[in-house]
Chain A
Amino acid sequence: MKQTLIAASLVLATIAGSALAADQFIPIPSYRVGPYASGGAKFYGGMIDYLNYVNMKEGGVGGVKLTYEECETEYKNDRGVECYERLKAKNGGASAFNFMSTGITYAVMDRAEKDQIPLMTMGFGRADAQDGRAFKYTFPLITSYWSQATAKIQFIGQRLGGMDKLRGKKIVNLYHGSAYGKETIPVLDAMATKHGFELKHIEVPAPGTEQQSQWLDIRREQPDFVVLRSWGVMTPAALKSAQRVGYPREQIVSNWWGGSEEDAIAAGDAAKGYIAGSFALDGKQFPLIQDIEKVVYGAGKGNLSDKGYIGTVNYNRGVVSGLLMVEAIRAAQKKYGAKTLTGDQVRWGMENINIDAKRQKALGVSDMFPQVRTSCQNHEGSGYTRFMQWDGKDWKPVSGWIKADTSITQPLIKASVEKYVKEKGITLRNCNAEK
């Protein structure tokens, strides 16, 4: 009897194992508790909803069902590394990770390189990882920090009536006192030299709850614009402080980390008129978002506890994250076949994403995010940013998609990559040979 039970268990385990082996596993290193839970719950909710949507609508990708497992990072580096280690080999192996955290990404980059698992760093860093010859497994998809910084200055140029109007103007860069905050200083310096505007960098000590002296300094400087490089509580604190010194919010331009509903709502009336960059628009006007609500939530399988948050900025970003991951898997299946893919095969797919206008329309996401076309060398695949303004209730687009100024970013990337290659003692990939 005992032997029969053991044999039955083994058979069941084999069946379960083979079922899992036929799936494509996507780890979800989410943060639903802790200081950034508000944005994290919506972002990863959107990502999970998209994976479920693909399963429910198409039965997976090429017949391969998508599976996922969450691990709570609390946005902490140590927990992020723990989640990476816990999930990397699970259920047939991880397809790719998106930690939505610069710190965790930096902490696991070397491990991911060794384990051959791609890291999706959509919208953030490190910026020089755009060069896939040096950073084979890191993908700052759509737009990196450096690309966004150049887009911000171009947007200000548009507001002033042309890039030539920047000459003689004064801009303050108010930045978070961290590696993240300082990352765009060289880019902005190069933009100031190119366009002849005066630039002053002012640091806000992290976490940025108190900014009285910085904003008094800004009032004294009387800049034409303030570019904000904030994160978390620094954003509402900056907007409230700007209100206290009477600085117009219409002249404050942030990057996407400061551009969600959470950032604006926390600042109340002080946020009205404030502008932030984005790589994915909010709203429920996109057919995909409407269909997710119909298919996934209609079946009672939605991930958000309150479906009122469907279409918010962070939710839509999460959907885009899931979509790009699925598109990478689709691309890889064309080369390797419709089966469970390894991390390295998904990496190849991520280097061959091609979402043009036609594909966007087919996916129901026209104009929700810019067109994306990656390659072995180009891990960003786009470089476009769009700007939105908070009207007191919603974000409204106030620009078209603005392309990064590559005359500024490329030399910086080149220099940074050369330094990285030297430090690590590696050689650049030959992308032509890999074709």
Chain B
Amino acid sequence: MEWQFFLEVLVGGLLAGVMYSLVALGFVLIYKASGVFNFAQGAMVLFAALSFVSIQDMGVPFWLALLLTLVLMVLLGVGIERVVLRPLVNQPPITLFMATIGLSFFLEGLAQMVWGTNVHGLELGIADEPFDVGGVFISKFDLFAAAVCGTLVATLALFFSKTKLGRALRAVADDHQAAMSVGIPLKHIWAIVWGVAGFVALVAGLLWGSRLGVQFALTLVVLKALPVLILGGFTSIPGAIVGGLIIGAGEKLAEVYLGPFLSGGIENWFPYMLALLFLLVRPEGLFGEKHIERV
């Protein structure tokens, strides 16, 4: 049945989009709090997943390995703030961006140096098998990933809008100097947000690692997050989710229905084109903040 197939592609695309959102969230968190586009997010995903499976390989039980990795990622985040970002306070955004490029290479090398280069399998106990809903196959794993992502987004959205710390983070993102002048401890704020980004990288690393195996290629999943960010806006957590859903569904439907007319394999460039079309209408992205500058 053609409509069933359409529905299957649509649902599959939406659920794939949730996985993209998960990676996009890490970018949004750091950009929101520091105005830095963190090029090293992919490397953090790899570092987190590789650390988790390597600790598990030592015979450590799942939950303890998760806890230890979380501690490691928070320490890594705090370390990045202390060593890389703190000396660059009040520097132009491009300087901070360049620093994260260097950080990316450093983390990729460090992960392989500490934990080795071997590929690891990762089973989270949720079978990546389909179940049949009226002829439409839906993956149990995708549903689980969507639930995890939904919970994460709801928690982070509440944190940013309802807590004092969250508001402080937003103030820092708007203007470092202004935030410091009203007594917001910039260094602590950055350390916290990089720690939280480390946690998000761990969640993304576990879910993507379970799907692709824990290997260097995990750094490439960020390629899927970039159009989501362009579309959803770099500063909006709900934007990362909505952007992910649109990109996921859009690219799958385009691949299946437009691909055959364009010799196939259009999934790589189509999401970027879709995002750029949105930008023509809303340059700040779907949920991005409008910048009004006095001159």
Partners in one complex: yes
Number of B residues near A (Cβ < 8 Å) is 47
Interface membership of A104, Cβ < 8 A: no
Interface membership of B216, Cβ < 8 A: yes
Within 8 A of B (CB), among A229-258: 232-233, 236-237, 240, 243-246
Task: Report the separation of the CA atoms of residues A41 and B215 in the bound assembly, to the nearest whole angstrom.
Answer: 14
For the complex formed, measure the closest distance between the CB of A279 and the CB atoms of chain B, giving whole angstroms: 21
**What A residues does B174 contact at CB under 8 A?**
none
Interface membership of A270, Cβ < 8 A: yes
Interchain CB contact under 8 A, B9 and A34: no
Interchain CB contact under 8 A, B212 and A209: yes
In the complex, the chain A residue whose C-beta lies closest to that of B20 is A210
**What A residues does B128 contact at CB under 8 A?**
240, 243-244, 270
In the complex, the chain B residue whose C-beta lies closest to that of A208 is B217
For the complex formed, measure the closest distance between the CB of A122 and the CB atoms of chain B, giving whole angstroms: 22
Interchain CB contact under 8 A, A216 and B224: no
Interface membership of B120, Cβ < 8 A: yes
Task: Report the separation of the CA atoms of residues A240 and B127 in the bound assembly, to the nearest whole angstrom.
Answer: 10
**What B residues does A206 contact at CB under 8 A?**
268
Interchain CB contact under 8 A, B267 and A266: no
Interface membership of B289, Cβ < 8 A: no
Out of B5, B119, B266, name the residue touching A38 (CB < 8 Å): B119
Interface membership of A163, Cβ < 8 A: no
Interface membership of B285, Cβ < 8 A: no
Interchain CB contact under 8 A, A33 and B213: no
In the complex, the chain A residue whose C-beta lies closest to that of B213 is A266
For the complex formed, measure the closest distance between the CB of B122 and the CB atoms of chain A, giving whole angstroms: 7
Interchain CB contact under 8 A, A177 and B217: no
**A233-B267 contact in complex given A244-B129, A265-B120, C-beta closer than 8 Å:** no
Task: Report the separation of the CA atoms of residues A219 and B129 in the bound assembly, to the nearest whole angstrom.
Answer: 14
Number of A residues near B (Cβ < 8 Å) is 41
Out of A209, A213, A237, A270, name the residue touching B9 (CB < 8 Å): A213
Interchain CB contact under 8 A, B264 and A212: no
For the complex formed, measure the closest distance between the CB of A198 and the CB atoms of chain B, giving whole angstroms: 16
Interchain CB contact under 8 A, A217 and B121: no
Interchain CB contact under 8 A, B265 and A267: no
Interchain CB contact under 8 A, B212 and A212: no
**What B residues does A36 contact at CB under 8 A?**
216
Binary interface profile of B, 199-227, with partner A (CB < 8 Å = 1, else 0)?
Answer: 00000000000111111110111011000
**What A residues does B186 contact at CB under 8 A?**
none
Interface membership of A32, Cβ < 8 A: yes
Interchain CB contact under 8 A, A244 and B139: yes
Interchain CB contact under 8 A, A202 and B264: yes
User: What total of A-B pairs shows CB separation below 8 Å?
Assistant: 117
Interface membership of B198, Cβ < 8 A: no
Out of A212, A213, A217, A233, name the residue touching B215 (CB < 8 Å): A233
**A243-B212 contact in complex given A37-B117, A205-B268, A212-B16, C-beta closer than 8 Å:** no
Out of B130, B224, B259, name the residue touching A246 (CB < 8 Å): B130
Task: Report the separation of the CA atoms of residues A32 and B112 in the bound assembly, to the nearest whole angstrom.
Answer: 10
**A209-B129 contact in complex given A216-B12, A237-B211, A266-B119, C-beta closer than 8 Å:** no
Interface membership of A262, Cβ < 8 A: yes
For the complex formed, measure the closest distance between the CB of B58 and the CB atoms of chain A, giving whole angstroms: 14
**A212-B13 contact in complex given A202-B264, A244-B141, A268-B121, C-beta closer than 8 Å:** yes
Within 8 A of A (CB), among B223-265: 223-224, 251-252, 255-256, 259, 263-265
Interchain CB contact under 8 A, B121 and A267: yes
Within 8 A of B (CB), among A55-89: none
Interface membership of A220, Cβ < 8 A: yes
Interchain CB contact under 8 A, A210 and B16: yes
Task: Report the separation of the CA atoms of residues A262 and B137 in the bound assembly, to the nearest whole angstrom.
Answer: 29
Out of B122, B211, B256, name the residue touching A217 (CB < 8 Å): B256
Interface membership of A203, Cβ < 8 A: yes
Interface membership of A337, Cβ < 8 A: no
**What B residues does A269 contact at CB under 8 A?**
123, 127
**What A residues does B284 contact at CB under 8 A?**
none
Interchain CB contact under 8 A, A207 and B217: yes
Interface membership of B109, Cβ < 8 A: yes
Out of A214, A245, A262, A266, name the residue touching B255 (CB < 8 Å): A214
Lowest 3 A-B CB distances belong to which pairs?
A: A266-B213, A203-B265, A233-B217
A-B contact pairs, 8 of them (CB 8 A): A32-B117, A33-B117, A205-B265, A209-B220, A216-B5, A220-B5, A268-B122, A268-B210
18 additional contacts (CB under 8 A) given A205-B268, A246-B137, A268-B213 = A33-B112, A35-B217, A177-B268, A209-B212, A209-B217, A216-B8, A219-B137, A233-B217, A237-B211, A237-B212, A244-B141, A245-B130, A266-B121, A266-B212, A266-B215, A268-B122, A268-B123, A269-B127
